[in-house]
Amino acid sequence: MPSAAFISTDFAMHYDPPVPNGCTWMRCVLPSHVLSGMGWGTAVGFPRDHPEMGIGVAHDDGAFFGFDAYVYKLLLHESVPDEFVKMRARGCRVIVDVDDFHFGISEDNIAARVTSPLHSPDNNRMWHEMSMRLADRLIVSTDFLADHYARRCRDVVVVKNALDTDRYTPVEHPVVPVFGWVGGTLWRSGDIETLQSWLPRFVGDYDVRVHHSGHIPGDPNHFAVRAGMRRVSTSLNSTMHQYPALLAGFHVGLVPLVMSPFNEAKSCLKGLEYAAAGIPFIASPTEEYRLLHAAGVGRLASTPDEWRDHATELLDRDVRVAEAERQLRIVRERFDISTMGEAWATGILG
């Protein structure tokens, strides 16, 4: 059977042992699980350089090699392009996975500075872009990214995000719902601020609560500040192993997005997570959310009045329960990682 190594730098290093962050979980761990279930040999881990073999999966003081394909995630170091050239010359199949539009990042987003050539000349998005162009193939998560990189790289295929839906427990819907958002505010670029035009007044009019799951202590520009709210309950950010539990704190999900190229390039993952947890949600109409809406999942809102109208309808418990049950069925049938094995297999070796 074929084999593939998923190699990523996106791990939470302050844990012992380090644990996968979101990008590694969605684009490395879950694909490796579904391919392993099909009989593939797989590995997931950190990159480790070898002077002759290239970049393999870190193991003790060495690295694993010998895979049919190597899928790299968020390798931004200046050494990577040269390593890719050497690996391809040896006959290795080199693939880069991309699920963000790195050159569309707003300066308000912490990732802009972290990946900036000015801030980090030897480890930045310019080297990453060069590596993409040297790879045998790019695997991307959205049609926007496919269109963008089709003119710049050798070969591009789309493999969309999917969830391990069995880890999500549907919420129980009370008479009066809590509205909420899950995520880290440091990585947002004006999105939550769009809620200011309607949410604070809505909360006052209907006496409902708002909850933010994923709060990072010490963030001065936290969710309440961004949304123009006086009071927002919070739960702390967690590892991906505990992540589904973050969705237990609310009953109507919010997906506010500035209509920008960066957000058009993003998947509808947050909406899928809400739906897997039995949470109806309202989202800004990016292309991926329009596609998800067409599949029967999620509501779309372009104006403050549309956001408020949807939110008002979802105050009705019967409406929420019916919507939650329908969406949960669709997500489990069509957007579970178990349905994506062939797509990942073809994306890697097809």
Work out the angle at residue 203's Cα, subtended by the Cα atoms of residues 201 and 206, and round it to the nearest 5 degrees.
105
Neighbouring CB atoms inside 10 A of 346's CB total: 11
Three-state SS at 283: strand
Rounded to the nearest angstrom, the gap between the alpha carbon of residue 255 and the centroid of all alpha carbons in its chain is 13
What would the mean pLDDT of 71-86 be, rounded to a whole number?
97
DSSP annotation of 51 reads: T
Please provide the average confidence, as pLDDT, over all residues in the chain: 95
- Given a cut of 80, whether residue 252 has pLDDT beyond it is yes
CA 17 to chain centroid, in Å, comes to 22
269 within 8 A of 253, measured Cβ to Cβ: no
pLDDT for 197 equals 98
The dihedral over CA atoms of 1, 66, 10, 25, expressed in degrees to the nearest 10, equals 10
The span from the CA of 124 to the CA of 37, in Å, is: 35
Spatial separation of the C-alpha atoms in residues 331 and 161, rounded to whole Å: 12
- Give domain 3-162+337-349's CATH architecture: 3-Layer(aba) Sandwich (3.40)
So what's the pLDDT on residue 266? 96
Q: pLDDT of 161-220, one tens digit each? A: 999 999 999 999 999 999 999 998 877 889 999 999 999 999 999 999 999 999 988 877
Cα gap 100→76, rounded to integer Å: 13
47-51, 57-61, 296-300, range with greatest mean pLDDT: 296-300
Q: If you search the block for the tokens 């990214």, which residue do you land on? A: 145
Q: What is the pLDDT of residues 32-50, one digit of tens each?
A: 999 999 999 999 999 999 9
Residue 284 neighbours by CB distance under 10 Å: 19
The number of beta carbons lying within 10 Å of the beta carbon of residue 65 is: 19
Given the structure tokens 């390593």, which residue do they identify? 83
Please tell me the total number of residues recorded for the chain in this structure: 350
Cis ω on the peptide bond leading into residue 18 (within 30° of 0)? no
Q: Are strands 11-12 and 54-59 parallel, antiparallel or unpaired?
A: unpaired
Amino acid letter for position 108? D
Domain ranges of the chain: 3-162+337-349, 165-334
Enter the CATH code of domain 165-334.
Answer: 3.40.50.2000
Can you tell me the distance from the alpha carbon of 229 to that of 330, in angstroms, rounded to the nearest whole number?
A: 34
Check pLDDT > 90 for residue 321: yes
Task: Give pLDDT, residue 14.
Answer: 84
Residue 140 confidence class, pLDDT cut points 50, 70, 90: very high
Shared fold status for 3-162+337-349 and 165-334: yes
Distance between alpha carbon 34 and the CA centroid of its chain, in Å? 18
Positions of E strands within 53-153: 54-59, 62-64, 69-73, 94-98, 137-140
Distance, in Å, from the CA atom of 115 to the CA atom of 342, rounded to the nearest integer, reads: 33
Expressed in angstroms, the distance from the first to the final Cα of the chain is: 14
CA distance 136 to 159: 16
Q: What is the structure's pLDDT at 16? A: 83
pTM as predicted: 0.95
Given a cut of 80, whether residue 93 has pLDDT beyond it is yes
